Amino acid sequence: MQFWYFLTALTLISALMVVLSKNPIHSVLYLVFTFFCISGHYVLLNAQFLMAVNIIVYAGAIMVLFLFVIMMLDLRRNSPDSKTNLTKLAGAVVGGTVLVIFIAATRKINLGTGADNAFYNSQTGMVENLGQILYRNYLLPFELVSILFFVAMVGAVMLGKREAGERNF
Amino acid sequence: MLSEFGYILLFIITAIVFTAVILFVAKLLRPNRPNVEKLTTYESGEEPDGNANVRFNIRFYVIALLFVLFDLELVFLFPWATVFGNETLNNSTDGLWGWFAIVEMFIFVGILILGLAYAWIKGHLDWVRPEVQEPQFKSPVPISKYEAINKKYS
CATH of the domain at A51: 1.20.120.1200
pLDDT over 80 (residue B126): no
Q: What is the pLDDT of residue A162?
A: 62
Cα B50 from Cα B44, distance rounded (Å): 18
Rounded (10°) angle between helices B96-121 and B58-84: 170
Nearest CA in chain B to A73: B55
**Higher model confidence: residue A9 or residue B134?**
A9
Look at the alpha carbons of A19, A20, A23, A27 in this order and tell me if their dihedral is positive or negative: negative
Residue A35 Cα, gap to closest chain B Cα (Å): 16
Cα B58 from Cα B65, distance rounded (Å): 11
Look at the alpha carbons of B135, B136, B139, B142 in this order and tell me if their dihedral is positive or negative: positive
| Pick from A79-83, A118-122, B95-99, B137-141: least confident | A79-83
B75 with A56: CB under 8 angstroms? yes
- Domain spans of chain B? 4-121
Residue B49 Cα, gap to closest chain A Cα (Å): 14
Q: What is the pLDDT of residue A76?
A: 61
In a domain, A83, yes or no: no
Residue A91 Cα, gap to closest chain B Cα (Å): 28
- CATH number belonging to the domain at B4-121, selected among 3.40.50.2300, 1.10.10.10, 1.20.58.1610, 3.40.50.300: 1.20.58.1610
Q: Hey, is the C-beta of A149 within 8 angstroms of any chain B C-beta? A: yes
Q: What is the pLDDT along chain A (169 residues), one digit of tens a residue?
A: 788 999 999 999 999 999 888 888 889 999 999 999 999 999 888 888 899 899 988 888 888 888 888 877 766 665 555 677 888 899 999 999 999 999 998 888 877 766 666 777 777 778 888 888 888 888 889 889 989 999 988 888 887 776 655 554 4
CA dihedral B92, B94, B99, B105 (to 10 degrees): 0
In a domain, A26, yes or no: yes
B59 with A168: CB under 8 angstroms? yes
- Of A74, A89, A105, the position where a domain reaches its end is A74
Q: What is the pLDDT of residue A74?
A: 65
A26 with A14: CB under 8 angstroms? no
Quote the Cα angle for A51-A57-A63, to 5°: 120
Q: What is the pLDDT of residue B24?
A: 96
A135 with B108: CB under 8 angstroms? no
Look at the alpha carbons of B59, B64, B65, B66 in this order and tell me if their dihedral is positive or negative: positive
Q: What is the DSSP string of B57-111?
A: PHHHHHHHHHHHHHHHHHHHHHHHHHHHT-HHHHHHTTTHHHHHHHHHHHHHHHH
Residues 89-128 of B with CB under 8 A from A: 101, 104, 107-109, 111-112, 114-116, 118-119, 122-124, 127-128
Nearest CA in chain A to B124: A157
Q: Tell me, rounded to whole angstroms, the distance of Cα A85 from its chain centroid.
A: 30
| Pick from A115-119, B3-7, B25-29, B78-82: least confident | A115-119
Tens of pLDDT, residues B18-72? 999 999 999 999 998 888 888 888 878 777 777 766 677 777 778 888 888 888 8
Cα B60 from Cα B126, distance rounded (Å): 11
Q: How many domains would you assign to chain A?
A: 2
Instruction: Verify whether the Cβ–Cβ distance B119 to A153 is below 8 Å.
Output: yes
A137 lies in which domain range?
126-162
